[in-house]
Amino acid sequence: MSKLQLLHRPWVVFDPHNANHRRYYADFTKYGTWGRCPVRFIMDDDSNDLVTMIQRKLVEYYVVQEFSLDEYKAKKG
């Protein structure tokens, strides 16, 4: 195994329920780069880009959290 394989940042799916993932995105918006992020996010939907995918997930997360939309959560699975 090469040194690059050992030292690379692991791939993960963005999870808006994970406070660390939300912090990584906040740092990205603050600094304009993913360079400080200890992981690399995988696109798991049909978004055109990573930032759009993360924004959609965060909007859904905060809308459900704010308004307690149980029926919305049930429809989404």
Assess whether pLDDT exceeds 80 at residue 7.
Answer: no
Residue with tokens 């660390």: 20
Assess whether pLDDT exceeds 70 at residue 76.
Answer: no
Assess whether pLDDT exceeds 90 at residue 12.
Answer: yes
pTM summary value: 0.79
Residue range 13-71, pLDDT digits in tens: 999 999 999 999 999 999 999 999 999 999 988 888 999 999 999 999 998 888 776 66
* Distance separating alpha carbons of residues 58 and 63, to the nearest angstrom: 8
What is the pLDDT, as a whole number, of residue 45? 84
The count of C-alpha atoms lying within 13 angstroms of the C-alpha of 30, restricted to the half-sphere facing its C-beta, is: 9
Q: Is 15 within 8 Å of 54 (Cβ atoms)?
A: no
